[in-house]
């Protein structure tokens, strides 16, 4: 009985007063579709495939991203272009399987794939989430400057005939 | 005679419309206030400050499919929401919400029916509400609904006793059962029955919360255990009827608490109707505040509290009050 009295006349009023004080606090809600909260600089969102400064694709279809992908979300088929360079004829990412871990970005030796800040790509069919090269490659000419600040410039295989030495040379040094 | 009938009909129409509007917007009030208590902002998109949210909700409910489960007892299943809703609205008929006013040269009492057994009518009608919930629980043919219905039956019957007993103190002191006369007796704040009957008031509030199935006594629809209790299987506007019925119940119980304990429409400066609305609103605020604060009781705790604490206390209160009234 004493415990009950204590609960009714002390504990509950204290608790209710504590709740009442919350009434005057500033709401923490972000009105999402109208106001967007600031993204963290390392947020990992939708992938995109980068291009060189002359517009050719960086991806050489080495398959390291697909190999490193823990969710098995990447599929690619290689081909060669007229200059004898390898490129990805087909490059697909299943964004429903993807867990946005960023391993593909880590694994890429060509700095071709990055995880962007885009997170609003909801859709109404599962099939629409298999993003192909058309969706992933950055538009050319660029609509806005690349979010990646430092991209390695294009390199060529340089073969010195006299010595037989093979080297990777940046475009500008040629 | 005809004039009386017409005036009563108009009064009923106005009061029911206002009550239904109040039900709709008290859902908004609840969502908004609970949001503020939780440092959220609540509905804010439909209309300014989300004020049109109840209308949007209503349209949504109306356009949803009205599902009847295959194994349900169809007649009872379809009737139950009405039976839960109507008893919640009727008691407002005897609640006075203002003094006599003169309109178009006629004296109009601001109460639909000055019935001399008002409080008895209120209890008689509200106790019918439990049938709606029980029928809904049984007819749905779902275990959650059935459990919710059983719980509501046990809980509402237990707490109805407490509710009835807690009011008797007021009736003893007032010497009348008519709500109009009870209000007229509480002409100053010292004559309010909440001052003269504090224990009765506390008991009434606790029982009223249990009667309307509100947190912390919302066991019939305990969402963590029973999905949604007796209205688990309901959809569309039938669910809406249960929902509106619950709010109508809250408003009715608040209005009766105002009438019995807080002087009804009596108050200085402002017109009587405004005072009545302010007091009912204060009760609604209290309801919502409780909802934001308290956790749900366990079922055995609820029953124990009802039978071991509320009813003995109410009886003791009656004894003491009767002795004082006699002296």
Spatial contact of A139 and A116, defined as CB atoms under 8 Å apart = no
Nearest Cα of chain B lies from the Cα of A126 at a distance, in angstroms, of 26
The predicted model gives A61-80 an average pLDDT of: 92
Count the domains in chain B.
1
Are A15 and B290 inside 8 Å of each other by CB? no
Q: Is A3 helix (H, G, I), strand (E, B) or coil?
A: helix
How far, CA to CA in Å, does B196 sit from each of A10, A17, A74, B61, B177? 22, 26, 77, 45, 17
pLDDT attached to residue A172: 58
Please list, in sequence order, all residues whose beta carbon lies within 8 angstroms of the beta carbon of residue B48, skipping any fewer than 6 positions away.
Answer: none
Which tokens belong to B92? 């407002």
Average pLDDT, chain B: 84
Residue B155: closest CA among B317, B312, B298: B298
Q: Report the chain A residue with the minimal C-alpha distance to residue B313.
A: A1
Q: Does residue A140 contact residue A52 with C-beta atoms inside 8 Å?
A: no
The helix (H) or strand (E) run that includes residue A170 is strand A166-170
Distance from CA of A57 to the nearest CA of B (A): 44
CA distance B260 to B278: 15
Cα of B49 to nearest chain A Cα, Å: 12
Close Cβ partners of A106 (under 8 Å, ≥ 6 residues apart): A68
Average pLDDT over residues A65-69: 92
Q: Which residue in A has a C-alpha nearest to residue B309's C-alpha?
A: A1
At A94 the pLDDT is: 92
| B30 within domain boundaries | no
- Per-residue tokens: B228: 């949604």
Q: Is the dihedral of CA B101, B23, B88, B73 positive or negative?
A: positive
* Architecture of the structural domain at A47-168: 2-Layer Sandwich (3.30)
* Inter-chain CB proximity B293 and A19 less than 8 Å: yes
The verdict on B37 touching A (C-beta cutoff 8 Å) is: yes
Phi and psi at B192, nearest 5°, equal -60, 140
What is the average per-residue pLDDT within B285-305? Answer: 86
A81–chain B nearest CA distance, Å: 53
From residue B162, how far is each of A1, A131, B33, B178, B247 by CA, in Å?
18, 65, 29, 20, 21
Whether this model's pTM surpasses 0.95: no
B259 to A62, A133, B167, B202: CA distances (angstroms) = 81, 72, 11, 15
Structural domain contains residue B74: yes
Taking an 8 Å cut-off on Cβ atoms, the answer to whether A15 and B35 are in contact is no
Report CB contact under 8 Å: A22, B289.
Answer: no
Q: Does B62 touch chain A (CB under 8 A)?
A: no
* Whether A27 and B290 lie within 8 Å, measured CB to CB: no
Higher per-residue pLDDT: B268 or A17: A17
Question: Contacts for B67-71 with beta carbons within 8 Å, 24 or more apart?
Answer: B67/B233, B67/B235, B67/B236, B69/B140, B69/B141, B69/B142, B69/B233, B71/B141
Chain A 17-46, CB below 8 Å of chain B: which residues?
A: 18-20, 22-23, 25-29, 31
Q: Is B35 on the interface with A (CB under 8 A)?
A: yes
DSSP assignment of A21-90: HHTTSPP----TTTS-PPPPTT---SEEE-B-TTS-B------HHHHH-TT--EEEEEEE-TTS-EEEEE
Can you tell me the mean pLDDT for A89-103?
Answer: 92
Give the range of the structural domain holding residue B125, as residue numbers without chain letter.
58-326
* B16, pLDDT greater than 50: yes
CA distance to partner chain B, nearest, from residue A19 (Å): 6
Backbone torsions φ then ψ of B161, nearest 5 degrees:
-60, -50
Total number of residues shown for chain A: 174
Confidence of residue A159 (pLDDT cuts 50, 70, 90): confident
Q: Identify the band that residue A174 occupies on the pLDDT scale cut at 50, 70 and 90.
A: very low
Q: Who's near B117: CB < 8 A, 6+ residues apart?
A: B177, B178
Q: Is B293 on the interface with A (CB under 8 A)?
A: yes
| Neighbour-count burial of A62, counting CB atoms closer than 10 A to its CB (0-12 exposed, 13-18 middle, 19+ buried) | middle
Convert B178-210 to b/e letters by CB count within 10 Å (16 or more is b): bbbebbbbbeeeeebbbebbebbbbbbbbbbbb
What is the average pLDDT across B194-214? 86
Which pLDDT belongs to residue A171? 65
Mean pLDDT, range B219-234, rounded to an integer: 75
Written as six digits, the tokens of A92 are 């697909």
Mind listing the pLDDT tens digit for each residue in B118-158?
888 888 888 888 888 888 888 888 888 888 888 888 888 88
- Taking a C-beta distance cutoff of 8 angstroms, is the pair B69, B140 a contact? yes
In this model, does residue A75 exceed pLDDT 90?
yes
Rg (CA), chain B: 20
Tell me how far apart the alpha carbons of residues B305 and B207 are, in angstroms, rounded to a whole number.
Answer: 10
Instruction: Tell how far CA B133 is from the center of its chain.
Output: 15
Task: Give the pLDDT confidence score for residue B180 in this predicted structure.
Answer: 81
Average pLDDT over residues A84-98: 90
Token digits for B246?
Answer: 């619950």
pLDDT digits (tens, 9 = 90+) for A108-151: 988 899 998 888 888 899 999 999 998 888 888 888 888 888 88
């Amino acid at each position: 009985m004493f415990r009950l009295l204590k609960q009714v006349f002390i504990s509950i009023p204290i608790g209710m007063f504590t709740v009442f004080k919350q009434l005057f606090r500033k709401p923490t809600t972000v009105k999402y579709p109208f106001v967007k909260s600031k993204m963290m600089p390392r947020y990992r969102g939708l992938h995109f495939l980068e291009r060189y400064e002359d517009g050719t694709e960086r991806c050489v279809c080495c398959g390291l991203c697909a190999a490193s992908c823990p969710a098995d979300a990447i599929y690619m088929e290689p081909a060669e272009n007229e200059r004898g360079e390898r490129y990805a004829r087909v490059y697909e990412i299943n964004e429903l399987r993807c867990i946005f871990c960023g391993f593909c970005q880590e694994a890429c030796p060509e700095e071709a794939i990055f995880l962007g800040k885009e997170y609003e790509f909801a859709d109404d069919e599962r099939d629409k989430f298999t993003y192909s090269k058309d969706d992933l490659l950055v538009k050319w000419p660029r609509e806005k400057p690349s979010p990646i600040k430092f991209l390695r410039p294009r390199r060529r295989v340089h073969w010195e005939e006299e010595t037989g030495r093979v080297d990777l040379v940046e475009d500008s040094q040629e | 005679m005809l004039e009386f009938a017409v005036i009563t009909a108009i009064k009923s129409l106005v009061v029911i419309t206002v009550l239904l509007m109040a039900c709709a917007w008290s859902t908004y009030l609840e969502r908004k206030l609970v949001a503020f208590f939780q440092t959220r902002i609540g509905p804010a998109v439909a209309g300014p400050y989300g004020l049109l949210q109840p209308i949007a909700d209503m349209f949504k409910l109306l356009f949803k499919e009205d599902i009847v489960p295959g194994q349900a007892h169809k007649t009872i299943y379809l009737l139950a929401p009405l039976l839960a809703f109507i008893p919640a609205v009727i008691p407002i008929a005897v609640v006075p919400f203002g003094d006599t006013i003169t309109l178009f040269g006629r004296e109009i009492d601001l109460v639909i029916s000055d019935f001399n057994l008002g409080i008895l009518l209120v209890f008689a009608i509200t106790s019918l509400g439990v049938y709606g919930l029980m029928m809904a629980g049984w007819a749905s043919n779902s275990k959650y609904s059935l459990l919710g219905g059983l719980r509501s039956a046990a809980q509402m019957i237990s707490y109805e006793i407490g509710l009835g007993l807690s009011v008797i103190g007021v009736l003893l002191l007032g010497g009348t059962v008519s709500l109009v006369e009870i209000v007229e007796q509480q002409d100053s704040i010292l004559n309010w029955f909440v001052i003269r009957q504090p224990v009765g008031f506390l008991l009434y509030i606790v029982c009223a919360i249990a009667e309307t199935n509100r947190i912390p006594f919302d066991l019939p629809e305990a969402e963590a255990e029973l999905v949604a209790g007796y209205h688990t299987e309901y959809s569309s506007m039938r669910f809406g009827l249960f929902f509106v019925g619950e709010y109508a119940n809250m408003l009715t119980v608040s209005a009766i608490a105002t009438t019995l304990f807080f002087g009804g429409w009596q108050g200085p400066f402002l017109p009587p109707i405004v005072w009545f609305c302010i007091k009912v609103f204060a009760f609604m605020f209290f309801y919502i505040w409780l909802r934001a604060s308290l956790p749900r009781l366990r079922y055995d705790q609820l029953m124990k509290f009802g039978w071991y604490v509320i009813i003995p206390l109410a009886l003791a209160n009656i004894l003491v009050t009767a002795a004082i009234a006699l002296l």
